[in-house]
């Protein structure tokens, strides 16, 4: 359930990543070395994350400005961004399209007592969101 192709496309594809992402191993290697800053800028331009969401969940604004000069995100920031994109891809599959997934991620949820996106800043929170999406996908009341 890695959604490699969707993650790579969301990051701007081969032209921005400067390599092909065809497996989980390719993605891990890219994340460990840091995503190109152009991919993060692409995510922001496409509106996948708002600037305030990006600064909250991925990289604070001053750090992001520094990363622009370095031309890549840190491994930790890259991991956070790809985690968000993986969960968004899963939600898109569950709800049928990206727009519906984005709405679900940003609306308060009774199960979580907050918006699902607010849980994505930690691995444990991300697992909770993925578990609920899995339940929804299998028709289990959530």
CB 81 within 8 A of CB 40: yes
Going by C-alpha positions, the residue among 76, 11, 4, 79 that lies closest to residue 41 is 11
Residue 102 forms part of a structural domain: yes
pTM of the model: 0.94
Residues ≥6 apart with Cβ < 8 Å to 87: 105, 120, 126, 129, 130, 133
Burial 104-134 (b: 16+ CB within 10 A, else e): bbeeebeeeeeebbbbbeeeebbebbbebbe
CB 28 within 8 A of CB 34: no
Residue 15 forms part of a structural domain: yes
Residue 49 forms part of a structural domain: yes
Proportion of the chain above pLDDT 90, given as a percent: 93
Residue 17 forms part of a structural domain: yes
Number of structural domains (the chain) is 1
Q: What's the domain range around 18?
A: 4-137
For range 16-22, the mean pLDDT: 93
Residue 43 forms part of a structural domain: yes
Residue 142 forms part of a structural domain: no
Residue 93 forms part of a structural domain: yes
pLDDT in tens, 43-76: 999 999 999 999 999 999 999 999 999 999 999 9
pLDDT in tens, 94-116: 999 999 999 999 999 999 999 99
Residue 9 forms part of a structural domain: yes
Which pLDDT belongs to residue 83?
96
């Amino acid at each position: 359930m890695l959604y490699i192709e969707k993650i790579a496309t969301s990051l701007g594809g081969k032209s921005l990543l400067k390599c092909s992402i065809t497996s989980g191993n390719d993605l891990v290697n890219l994340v460990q070395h840091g995503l190109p800053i152009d991919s993060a800028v692409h995510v922001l331009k496409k509106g996948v994350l708002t600037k305030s969401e990006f600064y909250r969940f991925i990289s604070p604004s001053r750090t992001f400005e520094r990363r622009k000069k370095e031309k890549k995100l840190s491994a930790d920031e890259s991991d956070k961004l790809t985690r968000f994109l993986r969960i968004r891809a899963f939600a898109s599959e569950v709800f049928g399209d990206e727009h519906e997934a984005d709405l679900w991620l940003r609306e308060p949820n009774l199960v979580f007592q907050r918006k699902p996106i607010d849980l994505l800043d930690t691995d444990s929170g991300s697992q909770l969101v993925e578990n609920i999406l899995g339940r929804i996908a299998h028709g289990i009341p959530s």
